[in-house]
Amino acid sequence: MISEAGLSFNLIQTERQNHARELVQGLNLSEWDGIITVSGDGVLYEVLNGLLQRPDWEEAVKTPVGILPCGSGNALAGAVNQHGGFEPALGIDLLLNCSLLLCRGGSHPLDLLSVTLASGSRCFSFLSVAWGFVSDVDIQSERFRALGSARFTLGTVLGLATLHTYRGRFSYLPATVEPASPNPAHGLPRAKSELTLAPAPAPAGAHSPLHRSVSDLPLPLPQPALTSPGSPEPLPILSLNGGGPELAGDWGGAGDAPLSPDPLLPSPPGTPKAAQLSPISEGPSEMAASSGLPPPTPGAPVATSAGGPPDHLLPPLGTPLPPDWVTMEGDFVLILAILPSHLGADLVAAPHARFDDGLVHLCWVRSGISRAALLRLFLAMERGNHFSLGCPHLGYAAARAFRLEPLTPRGVLTVDGEQVEYGPLQAQVHPGLGTLLTGPPGCPRREA
């Protein structure tokens, strides 16, 4: 398809972790129109952070980037597929849709998230920051990578069987004014710091079932290098969290052992994800000393970027937050901060998110939810309908910045699926900092 479209390219196969990062740091970007990764989300993470580590990062980060999905999760490709107007797809179908969109041309501003870690190092995210159930499944399922996307299904089952909760403090700078009163559907009023807005459910559509027979797509590359022949939609109307019908008595831990904070969950081996296929290179609370927070995990892999814009919304990590921030503290099953709509090719975590809405979409699940209810949330997430279930443990807020302070000694933190050092972190959205090759919006569906 790329050849028939008349696109000229160089094809480079990466040979090791962070190879893509090194490649883009040495590229003469003026010779190329864009950089495409044939991979999962991990190699694109390397590319973007490599661009932001260059001395000329202000110009380098404007280089259009794109993805042809061949990984396990393929979250960004799922969002590109939806932006292009296609039905949800996996495997070869998703790859063909993204290839067609690439050939049709077109780009879109891409928000990036600057993440400051406990050590003071900084990395940039295009996808998500996760703590708890999501990051546990992501990292602990690495051993099942040979199963492709099925690794997450198996990892989820195992994660539900050994479900943990984590105590932490979560603060954010709201993007909108919060409502003054709670939703009466929830019964007992909630603390003002917990009042959140939830997006309206995705519009119902006649989607054909997702085909799961093709799980992973390792493309055979016989040679390490090949050469070929040359207006935003308005934000959705938001409703109070849990505005859907509440399933009385069905969300708690009935039939399940009560979930309690587990400070003894061991950190998994520090082996971050590294997709094996490579890019096509075309070119208000103060952190007290007695808080019990552990030092950064020794030897944990950290991918940092020295360049990039300053974080004008963030005070130094460990200092008090401004009064316009919202803070909550408690026991959580998961906390997820996500930029695009998709957490995976078939998981729509933030249904109304856009590539350039200038927001980070915060989702969290508090302790007390049953395993069956948590499973229902993730099944509903395949259609982006999880907010309409009315789960009282599920929270949502749209924000411009956030701070996460784990109070449980051990756990797993990930940025774009890559494990980073464990400890407090904070992040800020930089609207439209990058450029994503998306193809035209609302592309007609490809005929079979």
**Quick one: pLDDT at residue 128?**
95
**256 compared with 290, residue with greater pLDDT:** 256
Which residue, chain included where needed, has tokens 């309206």?
Answer: 200
Do residues 29 and 59 make contact, with C-beta atoms less than 8 angstroms apart?
Answer: yes
Q: Which residues contact 306 (CB under 8 A, 6 or more apart)?
A: 53, 122
Number of H helices, E strands in the chain: 8, 19
**Quick one: pLDDT at residue 137?**
81
Average model confidence (pLDDT) for the chain? 75
Max Cα–Cα distance, the chain, nearest Å: 67
> CATH 3.40.50.10330 region(s) of the chain?
3-110
Phi-psi region of 132 (alpha: psi -120 to 50; beta: other; left: phi over 0): left
- pTM (predicted TM-score): 0.72
Q: With pLDDT > 70 as the criterion, what percentage of the chain qualifies?
A: 65
pLDDT at position 151 over 70: no
pLDDT at position 309 over 90: yes
Which two structure tokens, joined as six digits, stand for 243? 């505005």
- If pLDDT is split at 50, 70 and 90, which confidence band does 152 have? low
pLDDT at position 303 over 50: no
- If pLDDT is split at 50, 70 and 90, which confidence band does 241 have? very low
313 residue type, one letter: L
Q: Exactly one of 41, 138, 331, 357 is catalytic; which is it?
A: 41
Q: Which residues contact 220 (CB under 8 A, 6 or more apart)?
A: none
The radius of gyration of the chain from alpha carbons, rounded to an integer in Å, stands at 21
Render pLDDT for 343-358 as a digit per residue (tens, 0 to 9): 989 899 999 999 999 9
pLDDT at position 111 over 90: yes
**Quick one: pLDDT at residue 301?**
44
Where are the extended beta strands (E) located within 97-242?
107-116, 122-125, 128-132, 166-174, 197-199, 225-227, 238-240
- If pLDDT is split at 50, 70 and 90, which confidence band does 158 have? low
DSSP state letters, 303-340: ---S-S---TT-PPTTSPPPTTSEEEEEEEEEEEEESS
**Nearest residue to 199 via CA among 346, 387, 336, 390:** 387
Render pLDDT for 317-348 as a digit per residue (tens, 0 to 9): 999 999 999 999 999 999 999 999 999 898 99
Do residues 431 and 112 make contact, with C-beta atoms less than 8 angstroms apart?
Answer: no
| Residue 231 Cα distances to 24, 43, 75, 109, 356, angstroms | 31, 30, 24, 12, 11
Length of the chain: 448
**Quick one: pLDDT at residue 9?**
92
DSSP-derived 3-state class of residue 431: strand
Which two structure tokens, joined as six digits, stand for 423? 């400890």
DSSP-derived 3-state class of residue 280: strand
Q: Which residues contact 86 (CB under 8 A, 6 or more apart)?
A: 97, 443, 445, 446
Query: What CA dihedral angle connects 178, 184, 190 and 194, to 10 degrees?
Result: -30
Task: Enter the DSSP assignment of 15.
Answer: -
18 residue type, one letter: N
Cα(443)–Cα(114) distance, integer angstroms: 31
Q: With pLDDT > 90 as the criterion, what percentage of the chain qualifies?
A: 55
Name which of 62-66, 86-90, 98-102, 443-447 the model is least confident about: 443-447
DSSP-derived 3-state class of residue 112: strand
**117 compared with 254, residue with greater pLDDT:** 117
**Quick one: pLDDT at residue 150?**
55
Render pLDDT for 5-50 as a digit per residue (tens, 0 to 9): 999 999 999 999 999 999 999 999 999 999 999 998 999 999 999 9
Is 138 one of the catalytic residues?
no
**Quick one: pLDDT at residue 138?**
72
Task: Enter the DSSP assignment of 99.
Answer: H
Q: At what angle do helices 150-161 and 371-381 cross, to 10 degrees?
A: 160
Task: Enter the DSSP assignment of 146.
Answer: G
Which two structure tokens, joined as six digits, stand for 338? 């996500």
Cα(178)–Cα(324) distance, integer angstroms: 11
pLDDT at position 294 over 90: no
Do residues 227 and 10 make contact, with C-beta atoms less than 8 angstroms apart?
Answer: yes
pLDDT at position 232 over 90: no
User: What is the mean pLDDT of the segment spanning 286-298?
Assistant: 36
How many CA atoms are closer than 13 Å to the CA of 185, on its beta-carbon side?
A: 16
Query: What CATH homologous superfamily does 3-110 map to?
Result: Probable inorganic polyphosphate/atp-NAD kinase; domain 1 (3.40.50.10330)
Name which of 114-123, 171-180, 194-203 the model is least confident about: 194-203
User: What is the mean pLDDT of the segment spanning 60-66?
Assistant: 97
**Quick one: pLDDT at residue 141?**
60
Name which of 47-56, 168-177, 234-243, 315-324 the model is least confident about: 234-243
Neighbours of 364 (CB within 10 A): 23
Phi then psi for residue 135, to 5 deg, are -70, -35
Determine the CATH number of domain 122-176+307-431: 2.60.200.40
**Quick one: pLDDT at residue 142?**
61
**Quick one: pLDDT at residue 292?**
36
DSSP state letters, 377-392: HHHHHTTT-GGGG--T
Render pLDDT for 365-409 as a digit per residue (tens, 0 to 9): 999 999 889 989 988 998 999 999 999 999 999 999 999 999 999
H or E, element range at 91: helix 91-104
Cα(418)–Cα(404) distance, integer angstroms: 17
